[in-house]
Amino acid sequence: MDRNYNLSKRRYVIGTVVLCVVILFVVRLFVLQVMTDEYKQNADSNAFLRKIQYPSRGIIYDRTDKLLVYNQPAYDITVITKEITSLDTADLCRTLKITPEFLRKKFRDMKDKRLNPGYSPYTNQVLLTQLSAEDCGVLQEKLFKFPGFYIQRRTIRQYNYNVGAHILGDIAEVSKGDMELDEYYQPGDFIGKLGVERSYEKQLRGEKGVEILLRDAHGRIQGNYMDGKYDKAPIPGKNITLSLDIELQQLGERLLEGKIGSIVAIEPSTGEVLCLVSSPSYDPHLMVGRERGKNHLAMSRNPWKPLLNRAIMGTYPPGSTFKTTQALTFLQEGIIVPGTMYSCSHGFSFRGLHVGCHGHPSPLPLIPAIATSCNGYFCWGLYHMIGARQKYGSVQKAMNTWRDYMVSMGFGYSLGIDLPGEKRGMIPNAKFYDKAYRGSWNGLTIISISIGQGEVTATPLQMANLGATIANRGYFITPHVVKKVEGEQLDSLYLKKRYTLVEKSHYEEVAQGMRMAVLGGTCRAANLPDIEICGKTGTAQNHGKDHSAFMGFAPYHNPQIAVAVYVENGGWGATYGVPIGKLMIEKYLKGKLSPEDEVLATDIQNRRIDYGLEER
């Protein structure tokens, strides 16, 4: 009985073991055949070679259809490691002009799935990118000696002009993060990294195609599989027309040579950016080809920071250009009327506080106060607004009301330009000051914000947008650098009018003040006999020498251009801001500079400001 029992027990144990083995085999077969394509890839790779066909990237033009960015043939070297039977490393390195150490590192990185998650020994992996036709030709002649190595044709960017780098941007090889965000990309693909190339990547890149080639048992190509029935042609990227005027951009970059600063010009009626200059800049050709990484590293270490797009990333005290926003706010809130007179005894003086000002007649009403850039006038206006307890009930309510006006005019938040990296600037509110002064503050405490100093900061783009808003008498359209995408409608954001909280009539009064500033005030150097320019200077205080600024538009009636100029440590607004603003307006509206102004442009171009920086 016991013996039969033990035999029966063993039978169950053996049966269980056999069953487990069968289950393991079934699971393993399921994994191999369904869950992974490793063996399928192996089988397919013996018979087929899937060759990616890269699309040509979209071409970029300026607003007058001048060609800015186009494509030029380039070649990648790819490898299927499983096909490498023997390799003359020394010969390959001589042919490709690389070192054996570099080649070994490329193979190590290629096989490291942390760096290259899509690695498979049965599929094409990128070894080298962006070889010239000459270098590729040398390899082509010897390719039969290197089984497993292939040449992949693609394109790289080329530029007709050496300006506009911050707008145009560049392309570079995709990172691991790029591939995780979009499965379209594979190792060795290229993606827009900066500027328009980044913002409009999906439109510019097109769609990849594929060519399926048939191989025999020895791996030799026999032609297209089924005569190309399953091939897919690449779809070219869409062409883009920028709102940029390349000749205006060239002039702007020329005028800011040897200086740190920015020039932004906008067409008020459309919000189209006519130029967007950040200085110092760099030649976009430096970001093309195999030297891109080296050049990018050098510029990232340059103390002049040429990679920084100051037009949308630089945040500065706007200085006296900001007084126009104060005039509009005070008028709308009833703090003043155009005839309201304030005294200015070489500045604003009250209860021991003094804010200096230059000499001009006093007292004076609003329009002459704008024309002469009177500090005292706008300090008194803010003091009366923040202290108007009967109207607002508290300084906090008055402060937040003031903040709301600034935000409606495009300050304090990013405007939404179609370029990456735009900064928001700073517009303080009551909560900010309650924290900074522990709830004990008033109009005198924050008086400097009325003249664009203190905690207030703005980007040059926001300052140019202010000029466009005044030119439009109360609204702006979100600034944008792309005018047209082939076969697409622009985003509605770049078509919609954004109205401020201020009535149109008050803008007319401020525009009159800006016109008077050019006819006989602080912007006299901007006057042109046949163009009615409206302008406002800005001299923004700084720890070192003051910044020079200008904001304006023209013509006075039916404006076609609004401009903001900002030159770090440039001194008075009339030193750099005003003459540069005038030259930019003249160039755009007339198409050229007069002989006298060409001399002025050359003089400004040759001036250098000492920033104490060595490398450029």
Whether residue 428 is found in the same domain as residue 349? yes
Please identify, among 242, 264, 287, the residue that sits at the C-terminal boundary of a domain. Answer: 242
Whether residue 335 is found in the same domain as residue 431? yes
Whether residue 415 is found in the same domain as residue 453? yes
Residue 38 lies in a domain: no
Whether residue 161 is found in the same domain as residue 252? no
Q: In whole numbers, what is the pLDDT of the chain averaged over residues? A: 90
What is the number of domains present in the chain?
A: 2
Output the pLDDT for position 28. 65
Structure confidence at residue 373 as a pLDDT band (50, 70, 90): very high
Please identify, among 242, 260, 276, the residue that sits at the C-terminal boundary of a domain. Answer: 242
Q: Which is more confidently placed, 400 or 13?
A: 400
Whether residue 233 is found in the same domain as residue 254? no
- Measured N-to-C along each axis, helices 323-332 and 395-408 cross at an angle, to the nearest 10 degrees, of 120
Residue 109 lies in a domain: yes
Whether residue 224 is found in the same domain as residue 253? no
Whether residue 170 is found in the same domain as residue 208? yes
Residue 3 lies in a domain: no
CATH number of the domain to which 229 belongs = 3.90.1310.10
Residue 438 lies in a domain: yes
Whether residue 425 is found in the same domain as residue 361? yes
Cα–Cα separations (whole angstroms), residue 488 to 59, 60, 71, 184, 418: 15, 15, 22, 21, 15
CATH number of the domain to which 462 belongs = 3.40.710.10
Whether residue 236 is found in the same domain as residue 168? yes
Residue 375 lies in a domain: yes
Q: Rounded CA gap, 92 and 139, in Å?
A: 8
DSSP 223: E
Q: Which of 532, 570, 580, 523 is nearest to 263 (CA)?
A: 580
Residue range 13-52, pLDDT digits in tens: 777 777 777 777 776 666 555 555 544 444 444 566 677 8
Whether residue 237 is found in the same domain as residue 250? no
Residue range 212-263, pLDDT digits in tens: 877 666 556 666 777 677 889 899 999 999 999 999 999 999 999 999 999 9
Whether residue 257 is found in the same domain as residue 384? yes
Whether residue 443 is found in the same domain as residue 521? yes
Q: Which is more confidently placed, 555 or 13?
A: 555
Q: Rounded CA gap, 220 and 51, in Å?
A: 14
Q: Rounded CA gap, 328 and 333, in Å?
A: 9
* Confidence check: pLDDT of 193 > 80: yes
Percent of the chain with pLDDT over 70: 92
Beta bridge partners of 270: none
DSSP 451: G
Range of the domain at 508: 246-606
